[in-house]
Chain A
Amino acid sequence: MCGIVGFLAPGRDPGAFPDTILRMLGAIAHRGPDGVGCLVDDGCAIGVARLSIIDIALGTQPMSDSTGRYWLCYNGEVYNYQELRAELELKGRTFRTRSDTEVVLQSWIEWGEACFGKFNGGFAFAIYDRETGTLVLARDQFGKRPLFYRQRDGEFLFASEMKAFLHYPGFAFEQDPQQLSAILAQWTPLPDQTGFTGIASLPMGEWLKVTADGLTRQRYASLTFEDGPSVGSEDEAIALIRERLRASVVLRLRSDVDVGVYLSGGLDSAIVARLTADMTRRPLSTFSITFEDPQFDESPEQLELAARLETRHTPLRITPADISRHFPEAIFHAEVPAFRSAFVPMFLLSKRTQEAGIKVVLSGEGADEAFLGYDLFKETLLRTNWRKLDDEERRCQLAKLYPHLDHYGPQNIAAITGLYQQFSEERMPGLFSHELRFQNGRFSARLIRSPGDPFGPIAQLVRQNPAFAGLTPVQKAQWLEYQTLLPGYLLSTQGDRMSMAHGVENRCPFLDKSVFELAAAVNLRFDDGFEEKRLLRRAFQDYLPTSIIEKRKFPYRAPDAAAFAASPSDYLELVLSDAELAKLPFLDRKFARALTAKVLSQNAAEVSTKENQSFIFLLSIALLRRSFVDRGGVCRVSAPRHVKCIDMRQRSDLAANYASQGNLSSVV
């Protein structure tokens, strides 16, 4: 795992390029603590901060082909690289290393853009063609690895994390109220949104090319629900689930370093841990978050599983004070506004994981989206069929929807029925499944004084996808999850950004194309969907403790506003002081003040979900303004270690006149 940065700046004097690229790399050095490498050329510089996992000795980057024409900066893993390498060798290609990096480079040279669809993994990379001056960027299908870019004034910048742009000469961050409004409303950024003016995220499953003629962006992979196998029976489905998940874990254990597992206490990570433990000779290292407050804690299941699998288990107890203390640093790494605080414990867990010497962890992300684990899917089914059900059936199904929420209890079921009555018909075209969720979002969007239509961009995203209209209501809900919450929060703010803050790579066996295709082929074929992930449970019922198999969905959460009320920190001044709030000119300050006063003074049980998430959003936006727009707070650069820079410059006085193959040299 690594971090990558680069820029095309044909109009600038390349004399300063080494300093600029190394400073940009320094800003993301946490992603690659094992060393940095860069290539500087006339009009271009690219670089990598490297975390060595496969072929530690020879996988140095940027990596070129034997002619010195193509240069690759690569972040992530292509898990099927051994198979692709064999295919490439049959075509006569030869390799200098054992690394997947070289396989990616050779794949591009051999297959061009057709290579992207062959990659099974989580990756983001850039390939610079010295001959044509072309730059190509690509990102994996599910959005596991980040890649941001900006094109302006004839220059093009890219980076794994936006904080690298802080060190590009003349770069200024500006928060974009319209994007923020959309993020608040839909809970997460859309695939191309960042919250900052002029900076885009390359959407998952897309690649782009920058030439002298401009920028083109193309999609190479889409989420389709029809590519799975034909499955005749439930038993066959269960056997296939075990088989494909096992194969997915095997691929993700390809590593030259020890691999650990994050145990949440739920079914998905338990399956991953069981499969991993079966395949590793040494005791497996597992890591968990625990809370004092039983409404958040899953320790009993974590400990039971760790004991059963005889893992080297590390629990990390999180207090409200931990969340309050580390929120600014964690949101600086997240870079986009967050709607809940649960990413902060993950930031601390990855630190503990790194301290234990583990560089790679497997986790259960992606299971709920693929196998219909979220209550949202049941809710969609219920609301779709609402008019066909009688009152008793409605109440019966409602009672099963959100058992962990007190206000869905039997004493309130009539009121909840009344609420659902309001949402039994589609009001927002294409977004039926998410209309209740977006109610909370509408509330949060009130933080922006002139929010426009906060759902305009997501409505457009849906309209632009020709296949969307033909999906079932539940598939539409899944599709939206794969566009929003999964890449926009779970894999990023709570996933990659937190684990990579401490140089830990997170791999997700459920985010394998073959696993998703199978799930799509068997979902709702053998049950009504009201027992979430029933097939997954059945597939592993003989392999895991009963307590985990029978446990209902327990959403991973952490204390939100209550953590800040219990342990107030100095930086709360950012949302308490009128002068500080005035630095966010797009904010509805009156609403922000009233919200803050309410959530910080009331009993936690009296603060609603939408108020909690609006407050976390507000705090995020204020802290991101401080770090990125004003460059204050936790904004910092690490001095790169083990620097190798390849200097190809011809124009600058500072450049050595190297041959076209370049020369490895240290520049700092």
Chain B
Amino acid sequence: MEEWFLIEYDESFPEDTDLFREGVMDSFGYVQLHRFLEREFNIRFSPEEMTGNLLVSLTRIRECVAQKLAAARAGGASSPP
């Protein structure tokens, strides 16, 4: 994330920072991020998830991916595409 968005998480830029409000994320980055997470973790975001304000901060991204991975482990499959 830091390399990708040219940011550095620290006290002045905590992990729950809203990346939209800080001008870090634009439409291109948002789409790239979705595609990266799907590829890297072998998960799929449903249209509802994509419109649900999930990926606005590193904290939310981490929670969201963890939940999806846990659900996949429990159910033996990833979320429905």
- Would B53 and A422 count as touching, CB distance under 8 A? yes
| A441 interfacial contact with B, CB 8 Å | yes
A416 to B35, CA, bound (A): 12
Given contacts A391-B47, A414-B45, A418-B53, contact A443 B30 (CB under 8 A): no
Q: How far is the CB of A444 from chain B (nearest CB, A)?
A: 8
A594 to B34, CA, bound (A): 23
Q: How far is the CB of B78 from chain A (nearest CB, A)?
A: 16
| B51 interfacial contact with A, CB 8 Å | yes
Q: How large is the interface on A (under 10, 10 to 19, 20 to 34, 35 or more residues)?
A: 20 to 34
Chain A residues, Cβ within 8 Å of B28 = 407, 608-610
| A589 interfacial contact with B, CB 8 Å | no
Given contacts A417-B47, A418-B53, contact A439 B6 (CB under 8 A): no
| A591 interfacial contact with B, CB 8 Å | yes
Select one of B22, B23, B45, B52 contacting A440, CB under 8 A.
B23
B window 41-75: CB within 8 A of A = 45-47, 50-56
Chain B residues, Cβ within 8 Å of A608 = 26, 28-29, 32
- Would B50 and A417 count as touching, CB distance under 8 A? yes
1/0 contact trace for A404-438 toward B, CB 8 Å?
A: 01011000101111110110000100000000101
| B27 interfacial contact with A, CB 8 Å | yes
Given contacts A407-B31, A417-B50, A418-B30, contact A594 B23 (CB under 8 A): no
Given contacts A440-B23, A441-B23, A442-B22, contact A421 B30 (CB under 8 A): no
| B77 interfacial contact with A, CB 8 Å | no
1/0 contact trace for A87-127 toward B, CB 8 Å?
A: 00000000000000000000000000000000000000000
- Would A422 and B56 count as touching, CB distance under 8 A? yes
Chain A residues, Cβ within 8 Å of B54 = 418
Chain B residues, Cβ within 8 Å of A440 = 23, 26
- Would B23 and A443 count as touching, CB distance under 8 A? yes
- Would A408 and B27 count as touching, CB distance under 8 A? yes
| A446 interfacial contact with B, CB 8 Å | yes
Given contacts A407-B28, A418-B30, contact A446 B23 (CB under 8 A): yes
A441 to B23, CA, bound (A): 7
Chain B residues, Cβ within 8 Å of A436 = 27
Minimum CB distance partner of B24 in chain A:
A443
1/0 contact trace for B8-22 toward A, CB 8 Å?
A: 100000000000111
Chain B residues, Cβ within 8 Å of A610 = 23, 26, 28-29
Given contacts A415-B31, A439-B23, contact A595 B6 (CB under 8 A): yes
Chain A residues, Cβ within 8 Å of B51 = 391, 414, 417-418, 421
A window 578-629: CB within 8 A of B = 590-591, 594-595, 598, 608-611
A665 to B51, CA, bound (A): 74
A422 to B26, CA, bound (A): 11
Minimum CB distance partner of A412 in chain B:
B31
A132 to B66, CA, bound (A): 77
Q: How far is the CB of A96 from chain B (nearest CB, A)?
A: 58
Q: How far is the CB of B13 from chain A (nearest CB, A)?
A: 11
| A367 interfacial contact with B, CB 8 Å | no
What's the tally of chain B residues with a CB closer than 8 Å to chain A?
27
A442 to B20, CA, bound (A): 9
- Would B20 and A415 count as touching, CB distance under 8 A? no
Given contacts A591-B6, A595-B6, contact A419 B47 (CB under 8 A): no
- Would A445 and B31 count as touching, CB distance under 8 A? no
Chain A residues, Cβ within 8 Å of B24 = 443
Chain A residues, Cβ within 8 Å of B29 = 608, 610
- Residue of B25, B28, B34 most packed against chain A (CB within 10 A): B28
Given contacts A422-B53, A595-B6, contact A416 B26 (CB under 8 A): no
Select one of B20, B23, B34 contacting A422, CB under 8 A.
B20
Minimum CB distance partner of A440 in chain B:
B26
- Would B26 and A418 count as touching, CB distance under 8 A? no
Minimum CB distance partner of A402 in chain B:
B27
Given contacts A407-B28, A608-B28, contact A414 B22 (CB under 8 A): no
- Would A445 and B23 count as touching, CB distance under 8 A? yes
1/0 contact trace for A353-384 toward B, CB 8 Å?
A: 00000000000000000000000000000000
Q: How far is the CB of B80 from chain A (nearest CB, A)?
A: 13
- Residue of B23, B52, B55 most packed against chain A (CB within 10 A): B23
- Would B20 and A416 count as touching, CB distance under 8 A? no
Q: How far is the CB of A254 from chain B (nearest CB, A)?
A: 45
Chain A residues, Cβ within 8 Å of B8 = 590
Q: How far is the CB of B18 from chain A (nearest CB, A)?
A: 9
Chain A residues, Cβ within 8 Å of B47 = 391, 414, 417
A610 to B32, CA, bound (A): 14
Chain B residues, Cβ within 8 Å of A405 = 27
Select one of A415, A441, A611 contacting B50, CB under 8 A.
A415
Beyond A412-B34, A443-B24, A443-B26, 18 extra complex contacts between A and B, CB < 8 Å: A391-B47, A415-B34, A415-B45, A416-B27, A417-B47, A418-B52, A418-B54, A421-B51, A421-B52, A421-B53, A438-B23, A439-B23, A441-B23, A446-B6, A594-B6, A598-B6, A610-B23, A610-B28
Residue pairs across A and B with Cβ atoms less than 8 A apart, 15 shown, are A412-B31, A412-B34, A414-B50, A415-B30, A417-B47, A421-B52, A421-B53, A427-B21, A442-B23, A445-B23, A591-B6, A594-B6, A598-B6, A609-B28, A611-B6
CB-based closest 10 A-B pairs: A442-B23, A418-B50, A608-B28, A414-B47, A414-B50, A418-B51, A407-B31, A443-B23, A415-B34, A412-B31
Residues of B within 8 A of A (CB): 6, 8, 20-32, 34-35, 45-47, 50-56
